[in-house]
């Protein structure tokens, strides 16, 4: 298996623009997690899905953030409108349970 796939790997955008991050989990994994990592706050869980259903989105910072998982092999994290404080590395991880998680390579987002 190719592991968790994320795109794009790098994204530079201007404040106010819409940003869409994409993730393909490992085949057969029922759980998908979106994280944000910054130096100040470390790794933060934003939202996670089980069998394509959002289970806990309490980590989503505000209404500008939304996530969907239309099928077992694809998920998106959208930020609209983006702000400079959203600049971070966004990771997607997948798992066959909630504990043993495997991370994708991440998307480095810079909002100018």
In the complex, the residues that contact another protein under the rule CB under 8 A are 31, 33, 42-43, 45, 48, 56, 91, 98-106
**CA dist., res. 93 & res. 101, Å (int):** 6
62 or 99, CB closer to another protein? 99
Q: Which is nearer to another protein, 65 or 91 (CB)?
A: 91
SS3 state of residue 56: strand
Q: Smallest distance, Å, CB 16 to another protein?
A: 28
CB 23, min distance to another protein, A: 12
Residue 99 to residue 94: CA distance in whole angstroms? 10
Residue 39 has φ and ψ, to the nearest 5°, of -60, -40
Which residues share a beta bridge with 111?
13
- Nearest approach in angstroms of CB 25 to another protein is 14
């Amino acid at each position: 298996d190719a592991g968790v796939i994320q795109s794009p790997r790098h994204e530079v955008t201007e404040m106010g623009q819409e940003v869409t991050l994409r993730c393909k989990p490992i085949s057969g994994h029922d759980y998908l997690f979106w994280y944000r990592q910054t130096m100040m706050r470390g790794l933060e869980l934003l939202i996670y899905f089980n069998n394509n259903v959002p289970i806990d989105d309490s980590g989503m910072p505000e209404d500008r953030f939304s996530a969907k998982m239309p099928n077992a092999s694809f998920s998106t994290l959208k930020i609209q409108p983006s702000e400079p404080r959203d600049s971070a590395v966004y990771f997607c991880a997948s798992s066959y349970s909630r504990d043993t998680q495997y991370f994708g390579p991440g998307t480095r987002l810079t909002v100018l």
